[in-house]
Structure 1
Amino acid sequence: MGMKGKFKNFFGIEDEYDFVDEVEDDEELDERGKEKNNVVSLSSVQKSSKMILCEPRSYSEVQEIADHMIHRRAVVINLQRVDTEQARQIIDFMSGTVYALSGQIKKLGSQTFLCTPDHVEVSGNITEIMEEADPEQRW
C-alpha cells in the first residue's frame, strides 16, 4: 500500500475510484517492432567552415589546392611566386574544379583569387585599377 492509501485509511476517506499507477512508455515502435527515433543527428552539419590560404610555387601543387575545394573548404590562392604561364595553368585547373563543384571563383587582386564551393556565398566585388597593373600579369 502506498503513501496515498495510508493517508486514506488514517483519515477514513474512501473514494469511489481505484487509483492505478500507470507508467507510460515514451518509446514508440515502428511497423517492424524497432524503436522510432525522431532525433536528427547534427553530425552531418558542418561544424565550422575553413578557409585555406595557398601560395603555390609550381603547377604541381594545384591538385592539393583542388582537394581542399573537394572537401568543401574555401581557398585563397596567391600566385605571386609562380611565373605567368604556370599561374594561368593553375587558374584554368581551378576554374574547372570550381565549375565541377558548382562553386565560384573571384579575383581579389592582380594575382590573388578566391575559390569557394557551392555552400559558401560571396557577395560584393573588388575593383582593380588596371592602369597600374603589369600588362603581362592580366588574365
Structure 2
Amino acid sequence: MAELMDKVKRVFGFSDEYDYDDYPENEFIEENSIEEQPSRTNKSKKQGFNTLKAADMIISVHEPLSYDESPKIVDDLRANKSIVLNFEQLDIDIKRQIFDFVSGALYALDGKIQKVNKDIFILAPENVEIDGLKEELKNSGMFPW
C-alpha cells in the first residue's frame, strides 16, 4: 500500500524523491575567472550635456560695438542660448575680429551658424537646429536680398 501512495504522490508532484540525473551538474566558478565587461557608455558623448525644456531656450540679440563684447557672445553660446548677431554698426576690421572669435568658439562648442543677410547671423548651440527656411522664403519673395 505504501508503494501505491508513493506512486500517487509522484504523479501529482508531491514526492520526496527528486531526479537529479535530468539536471546538469553545477560547475564551480572562481571569482577571479569572471572577465570584466568593458563599459558600454559611449566615450564620444559630451560630459555634462543638459537637455533643455522649451522654457529654458532663450534667443539673445547682440549688437556689439567693440571686440571687447566678444566674450559675452561666447558666454551666451556656452549657456545654450541661440544668438542673433548684428554687425550693421561695425567697421569691417572689428567685424572680422569678432566673427573670427565667435566662429572659433562655435567650432569648439559644435555650434552652428547661419547667415541671414550681409551683416546679420544666427548662432546656435549644439542642441539647436537651424532650419534652411531662408531659401524657401527667398524664392517666394519674402526676403529682398
Aligned positions of 1:1-139 closer than 5 A: 45-47=51-53, 48=55, 49-124=57-132, 126=134
Could you say which structure has the larger radius of gyration?
Answer: 2
Unpaired runs of at least 5, structure 1: 1-43, 134-139
One-letter amino acid matched to 1:105: I
Unpaired runs of at least 5, structure 2: 1-49, 139-143
Which residue of the partner structure matches residue 42 of structure 2? none
One-letter amino acid matched to 2:67: Y
Q: Which moved more, 1:118-127 or 1:101-110?
A: 118-127
Give how far 1:125 is off. Answer: 5.3
- Give every structure 1 segment of 4 or more consecutive aligned residues whose post-TM-superposition deviation is greater than 6 Å: none
Instruction: State the superposition RMSD in angstroms.
Output: 2.0
Give how far 1:126 is off. Answer: 3.2
Give how far 1:75 is off. Answer: 0.6
Q: Which has the higher helix share?
A: 2
TM-score (norm 2): 0.55
Distance 1:117 1:45 in 2: 12
Distance 2:76 2:94 in 1: 19
Which residue of the partner structure matches residue 16 of structure 1? none
Aligned length: 87
Q: Percent identity?
A: 33
Q: Which moved more, 1:92-101 or 1:44-53?
A: 44-53
SS in 1 for 2:85: strand
